Amino acid sequence: MIQRIQTLYLIVVILLGAVVPFFVNLWSDARGNEIFAENAVFVSIAFYAVAVLGLLGIVLYKNRQNQFVVNRLNIILNLFLLGFFVYRSLNLSGETIVSEKGIGMLIPVFSIVFLVLANRAIKKDEDLVKSVDRLR
């Protein structure tokens, strides 16, 4: 349902996962070549998985518990992706010239923030429904 705020947060996560990584560079190597998500197969698959889990979270709007669990799985996937980026940036193989890190390495951080905001809104909706059930 588009009128709920968590749906808007999940749409931002979908855009961050499916669109943004292919337009901003993740890092630049020692020769100055910019590496985008489409140049690394694992990274592009992980970003598409983030987008698909975000879409699945939107589709599961009727079952808030499952929506909450899917968002948590998406947070875990983003943490793995962030860990890969940190490992990649710290484990430079014998470069004498330091390669540059791109803004695309921060995409999982932004996705995690929006997923946490979505989970907070889902929890708020669930608490509201439980409080109304007590009044009946």
Q: Is 32 left (phi over 0), alpha (psi -120 to 50) or beta?
A: left
Q: Higher pLDDT residue, 44 or 31?
A: 44
Asked if residue 96 has pLDDT above 60, the reply is no
- Say how many CA atoms lie within 13 Å of 100 toward its Cβ: 11
Q: What rounded mean pLDDT belongs to the chain?
A: 86
> Can you say whether residue 98 is alpha, beta or left, with left for phi > 0 and alpha for psi between -120 and 50 degrees?
beta
Residue 132 above 90 pLDDT?
A: no
pTM for this prediction: 0.87
Please give the torsion angle defined by the CA atoms of residues 102, 111, 37 and 83, in that order, rounded to the nearest 10 degrees.
70
User: For residue 64, what are the domain limits?
Assistant: 5-134
pLDDT higher than threshold 70 for residue 36 = yes
In this prediction, residue 33 carries a pLDDT of 76
Q: Which pLDDT does position 97 carry in this prediction? A: 56
Q: Give the number of domains in the chain.
A: 1
